[in-house]
Structure 1
Amino acid sequence: MMTVTAPLPHPGLMRTTPPPALESTAMPRILAVGTATPETAYSQRELVEILGIQDPRIAGIYLNSAIERRFLTLPQPDGSGVPPREDTGQLLAKHKTQGIALGTRAVQECLKQAGADLSDVRYLCCVTSTGFLTPGFSALLIRELGLDRHTSRADIVGMGCNAGLNSLNVVSGWARAHPGELALMVCIEACSAAYVFDGTMRTTVVNSLFGDGSAAIAMVAGTEPDAATDQPPTPRVIDFTSCIIPEAVDAMRYDWDSSQRAFSFFLDPDIPYVVGAHARMTVDRLLGRAGLRQSDIAHWLVHSGGKKVIDAVGVNLGLTRYDLRHTTGVLRDYGNLSSGSFLFSYERLLQEGTVRPGEYGVLMTMGPGSTVETALVRW
């Protein structure tokens, strides 16, 4: 676990000349964020015991992951004290049941933070990579929440951990085309519905890393914040950049494992270094298009992909432990939450209360493709 031992100056105070101002009411604002997790949480050591792991190499992966606990939905142990293996049908049912429950709570919390009602929602985009449903979560949540039947919707399925920013780009475009109308994005990841327990090192890495959770954000364009309120500043989304790495297209996969008769995640051991090596060019492109330098960025919200991924991105971008404090904190307390991880970090940044009007932030996600996604925001 990485800790900061001495107070650091606020990033906004490190620059001697002000960055250029980029702002337009046409750019959508992120009004609020809301998150939700299952009720059950397990420490990594508890999971080693619950899963009956005897191999010290496998136990070491759990215990040296920089993760202290994860929220998971596991079946009750059988007579042997070990949770029984769930078949594909049971895993898909878990994906649906937990997804609806978590997504509903995340939306409700988001709207509460935004001071909005369900009746205000005009667009709903749902993101997931931990199962497949038709109709998708957008239709299921519209029914569950009682949203207007004329709510526009989209489902982004199977894009993986980077999908939160791919989808934010879509939602931002809708918001810009419909000024004054409220749009929601909901990342719904019941990662325990994608677990395969076969004792191999391949599945162990996955099973030691991912957790269950959902995160929702509310967006609107064409409006100004209410200056009469005491609410914290809300950021406008300025731009996005993407970098796909075709030569690493098979490095992160979720596909059918015929030996286990189930879908299973695969993570190449070299993926942290591949992603890290492409982080710099992606960020440089994002900042260059806005006429900014890295020293202009006060806040970094990077996907909590795993300790090695975070370290590789941090080294290649020259980020400090302070820059990555929320990224590492979310990994420690939740594990990798796939597409919604960066929104859990965003929620912590808001709760911290350090953001000042006029500051810039970079959001970054990484995932299958292999892909690095970034977004630039300004408060």
Structure 2
Amino acid sequence: MPAHLNAIGVATPTHDVHHAFIDWAQARLAPAPARLFARMARRAGIGHRWSVLPPTAAGASPVGAGGFYADTMPGTAARMAIYATAAPALSLLAVEALAARVPIDGITHLVVASCTGFVAPGLDQIVARRLGLAPSVERLLIGFMGCYAAVAALRSARHIVRSEPAARVLVITCELSTLHLQDSDAPEILLAQLQFGDGAAAALVTADPVGFMLDQPFAATLPDSHDLIRWAITDRGFAMHLSGEVPRRIAEGLADADFRDIVTAGRGPAGIDGWAVHAGGRSILDAVAGALALPDDALDAARGVLADNGNMSSATLMFTLERLLAGPRIDHGVALAFGPGLAAEGFGFRSAA
């Protein structure tokens, strides 16, 4: 029984912190690195990044006077206290957006992906309770898989529907990356932090032939790459390491003919008419486009998500799929995301008949 991604609803906070962060970061750098940072920020392809952290009473950003990060870097407990309230609220906004597109009654399974915070009872239980889901709903919480966690969530939903054709699976991805700003004057760390924003997405996966049919998933870990993307839980939040080597290693992986065949199900890049690539950054999208010799407009949906929201970790791929669902018919699509490992995960998809 084929599984279908019927619809997606997305949500972001209302506080745009992107340009305030750029000003804050540049002020921490010596003149030469500051000029480099400014040039890289202009080339990043990001216009907005949204945060659950509110403006101050005077309208300042979280890094401004009186803001969450103004005087000292808050501890992990303070950051997780915000996650415990903000993550469920943002997730429910995404569910509301989904419910405006497709009925979400009769949910039998709930799959939640989130790697920017922890709370117990988990985000899955909080959301299930607030939505009034039946106590019998089966739940799965996916954590700390990073940017490809949306693939794991949708893959799990596909497996559920294929084994239980009557299942109605609600999939939620919610990431609050701006809770993890780190006190650093290292340009490479500031450039990594420049990418990330907050967002949530909700999707319905069923056997109903509506939306995108989810085809065969795939996964591959690039050799000797486990240190390129990693998170460390510190006393001052989650510290992310994002190596500048990541785009090159992704391009090298996609240049391998066997891996390209896995990604494209043997059709080759020319046989794919829809690309949902995780918008991890402009350099990553450029690496994918260059390695696969894609047309200039092939990654427009991903580049649009990056421009409007930055990298929202696991939610980003869902935002891209949401845009593709609203577009022309796709006969052979590929969803592809990268994350800690360095690993690439994805799946094929096609418009329902």
TM-score, length-scaled by structure 2: 0.88
The offset of 1:261, in angstroms, is 4.4
Tell me which moved more, 247-256 or 271-280. Answer: 271-280
The offset of 1:326, in angstroms, is 0.8
The offset of 1:193, in angstroms, is 1.4
Letter of the aligned partner of 1:236 in structure 2? M
- The verdict on how the C-alpha distance between 1:48 and 1:80 changes in structure 2, with shifts beyond 3 A counting, is same
Q: Give the Cα separation in 2 of the matches to 1:153 and 1:345.
A: 25
Which residue does 2:252 correspond to in 1? 277
Q: Give the Cα separation in 1 of the matches to 2:268 and 2:64.
A: 60
Structure 1 residue ranges (4+ consecutive) displaced by more than 6 angstroms after TM superposition: none
Are positions 1:303 and 2:281 aligned together? no
Q: Give the Cα separation in 2 of the matches to 1:149 and 1:279.
A: 44
Which residue does 1:89 correspond to in 2? 77
Specify which of 344, 358, 362 is matched with residue 319 of structure 2: 344
Which residue does 1:153 correspond to in 2? 139
Query: 1:285 aligns to what SS in structure 2?
Result: helix
Are positions 1:355 and 2:329 aligned together? yes
Which residue does 1:53 correspond to in 2? 27
Are positions 1:330 and 2:309 aligned together? no
Query: 2:45 aligns to what SS in structure 1?
Result: coil
Q: How much is the aligned-residue C-alpha RMSD, in angstroms?
A: 2.1
Q: Once the two structures are superposed, what CA deviation does each residue of 1:323-365 show, in whole Å capped at 9, x if it has no partner?
A: 01111111111101111112111222233x3226xx1111110
Q: Once the two structures are superposed, what CA deviation does each residue of 1:221-264 show, in whole Å capped at 9, x if it has no partner?
A: 2x445xxxxxxxx221110111112411111111035xx74430
Tell me which moved more, 76-85 or 262-271. Answer: 76-85
Tell me which moved more, 151-160 or 237-246. Answer: 237-246
Identity %: 27
Q: Give the Cα separation in 1 of the matches to 2:193 and 2:94.
A: 24
Q: Give the Cα separation in 2 of the matches to 1:325 and 1:79.
A: 34
Contact 1:243 1:373 in 2 (8 A): yes
Which residue does 2:230 correspond to in 1? 253
Q: Give the Cα separation in 1 of the matches to 2:81 and 2:249.
A: 34
Which residue does 1:179 correspond to in 2? 165
Q: Once the two structures are superposed, what CA deviation does each residue of 1:62-120 show, in whole Å capped at 9, x if it has no partner?
A: 33321111111336358846642322111112222221111111122113212x13x41
Specify which of 105, 115, 121 is matched with residue 107 of structure 2: 121
Query: 2:49 aligns to what SS in structure 1?
Result: strand
Which residue does 1:4 correspond to in 2? none
Letter of the aligned partner of 1:328 in structure 2? R
Structure 2 unaligned segments of length 5 or more: list them: none
Query: 1:374 aligns to what SS in structure 2?
Result: strand
Structure 1 unaligned segments of length 5 or more: list them: 1-25, 226-233
Contact 2:22 2:194 in 1 (8 A): no
Are positions 1:130 and 2:116 aligned together? yes
Q: Give aligned pairs, total.
A: 335
Query: 2:264 aligns to what SS in structure 1?
Result: helix
Tell me which moved more, 278-287 or 189-198. Answer: 278-287
Which residue does 1:64 correspond to in 2? 43
Which residue does 1:39 correspond to in 2? 14
Specify which of 110, 119, 142 is matched with residue 128 of structure 2: 142
